[in-house]
Structure 1
Amino acid sequence: MSSLSTPESRAMGQAGPDHLLVLLDPVARRSDGESVRIARDVLCGGADVKVALPESPSELDRALARRGRRRPVVIGSDLAVQRVLQALHRHRELGVDALGVVPVGGPGAVAAVRALGVPPEPVAAARAVIGGSSRKLDLLIDDADEVVLGDLRIHPYRRSRPGWRSLWAKFSAPEQATAPAGHPRLRIEADGRLLAEVHRPPCRLDVTVPAGAGALELLLRTGGEPRRIRAGSLTVTGHGFGGEADGRALGTLGARTWTVHAGVWELVLPAE
């Protein structure tokens, strides 16, 4: 899981009314409109707020490009937060503004931001956005410039289960690939060092970013005792393997590298 990379923090909202761009996840608005309304009311009561409802990556890009001095705030799920981080990274604006988050969704849909310390309740989360402190976080980014907010899983290829997803994800998720023919195989390297070559299941690789580590942690299961390894980068070359990042299917792997970028973005959390 992405995590705090430094204890440095900066208090928010101490120089007059804050100016916010509130980005509403359309799925959150439809599935839990009451929580969205409560959060928006609290934010409007303590800041100068402009609300946007982007339903595609292009609309999200336009809203962020026109925000001026407004600080972005996401009301929605982990996936909605990931899409905003992706857009900011694409425009090389990660860390320009501290991001505020009000999580709205089921426990699994907001697990990543809650693990980072964002309050689960709309009122408490909205108040933290206004009066909290910004803290620097690490982020996992692959060689295709895709960011990972939460966790990454690699396993023998399987189709993901159908389910409801944010429209932001629907418009920008990669096409689902068909599982390739032949026996599965996977080559795993950490910091350029070969860790394992797997030629048949069972095999599963879970990747997280522990708090303050500035590194990723790999949990590799190949049938025996699980292995834990810390590294700054991970490269996998796979045939017959797929996976998920932040709940999004990666399709078939081919070859891909993920690298930890320390302290590249800021999240507003409750002041201590």
Structure 2
Amino acid sequence: MTEVATFATSDQLLVIIDPVARRADGESVRIAKDVLSAGAASTKVCLPEDPEEFARALARRGSRRPVVIGDDRALTRAVALLHRQRALAECVLSVVPVGGSLAVAHALGVPTGPVAAARAVLDGAERRLDLLVDDSDGVVLGMLRIPAPPAGGGVPSADPAGRPWLQSLVRTLVPVRPSRLSRPVAAPLPPGPARLRVEVDGTTLVDLDQPVEAVSVTPGASGSAEVVVRPSSVGAEAAPLQAYGRTVTVSGADFRYRADAAVAGPVRRRTWTVREGALGLMLPVR
């Protein structure tokens, strides 16, 4: 891992540049680094070569404010690491989206373009956002989908407040650009109805006797998650089922799920809990 220190005029930053971003768009990385270096009192730039070096750089941040230059996978990796270190409450994270898949960062309210995103790091304000945390310590920033859609399946969009919300259970995702640093993921299960039990705050929304086409879970803005189940139908289309709650449990036959930019599973049971205001993210001042 290469580390470079530079000095400028306000604040102390630890800038972690993901290797995927360096390969995908070196010019945007350079622009973002120049803007950050010109606006911060002290900027330490880290160039990790793999996820392990990425984790070590973040763990050794000290009093510096971490800034990730990278795609949705890099952002989610940083949030997950801080969560496992139990450091989210005391840490304010910033991100400059660069790379292949940027839908989650943009849906959270991070500006497009390296200059605007870097200026938000320097001049923005901390905003506390809800997260979904599962019983294996995984995190979801934007949207959870079950079963996992095929490669190129759906992404969340953003409402005026910058939080993702469900507009359609069949919206097409921006394809995720693969990287050699990404963990290998098994191919999604064949598409088709699944038999799942979905419980929201202990109340069954749909049971195993009702096949479902899709389930989506989206963290809201007030400590609850929006859960939408699209039942499988024959003939007339079945109306989606909707509920709100703090805890969502899905169980049944083996299923995979897409959490932000990553696919996980198969599992037979998983519980997600809303952590209200768990993530502090620097965003433009409204």
TM-score under structure 1 normalisation? 0.83
Amino acid at match of 2:113: E
Q: 1:119 & 1:159 partners in 2: Cα distance? A: 28
1:207 aligns with 2:201: no
CA apart distance, 1:110: 1.2
1:241 aligns with 2:255: yes
Q: How does 1:12-91 map to 2 (within 5 A)?
A: 17-47=10-40, 48-91=42-85
Q: 2:248 & 2:240 partners in 1: Cα distance? A: 17
For the Cα contact (< 8 Å) 1:32–1:105, is it kept in 2?
Answer: yes
1:270 aligns with 2:284: yes
1:143 aligns with 2:135: yes
Structure 1 SS opposite 2:89: coil
CA apart distance, 1:256: 0.5
Q: Which has the higher contact order (CA 8 A, sep 6+)?
A: 1
CA apart distance, 1:71: 0.5
Choose the corresponding residue for 1:117, options 109, 115, 134.
109
Quickly say closer, same or farther: Cα 1:135–1:159, change in 2 above 3 A.
Answer: closer
What corresponds to 2:4 in structure 1? none
Unaligned segments of structure 2, at least 5 residues: 1-8, 153-174
Q: 1:132 & 1:159 partners in 2: Cα distance? A: 36
What corresponds to 2:94 in structure 1? 100
CA apart distance, 1:177: 7.7
What corresponds to 1:9 in structure 2? none
For the Cα contact (< 8 Å) 1:117–1:269, is it kept in 2?
Answer: yes
Structure 1 SS opposite 2:133: strand
Q: How much is the aligned-residue C-alpha RMSD, in angstroms?
A: 2.4
Amino acid at match of 2:284: P
Choose the corresponding residue for 1:165, options 147, 164, 178.
178
1:153 aligns with 2:153: no
Amino acid at match of 2:107: A
For the Cα contact (< 8 Å) 2:18–2:54, is it kept in 1?
Answer: no
Q: 1:98 & 1:61 partners in 2: Cα distance? A: 16
TM-score under structure 2 normalisation? 0.79
CA apart distance, 1:149: 1.5
CA apart distance, 1:264: 1.3
1:256 aligns with 2:281: no
Choose the corresponding residue for 1:219, options 228, 239, 245.
228
Quickly say closer, same or farther: Cα 1:228–1:249, change in 2 above 3 A.
Answer: same
What corresponds to 2:155 in structure 1? none
Structure 2 SS opposite 1:203: strand
Amino acid at match of 1:30: R
For the Cα contact (< 8 Å) 1:78–1:113, is it kept in 2?
Answer: yes
Runs of 4+ in 1 over 3 A off after TM superposition: 157-168, 177-180, 198-202
Structure 2 SS opposite 1:176: coil
Quickly say closer, same or farther: Cα 1:245–1:186, change in 2 above 3 A.
Answer: same
Structure 2 SS opposite 1:256: strand
What corresponds to 1:196 in structure 2? 206
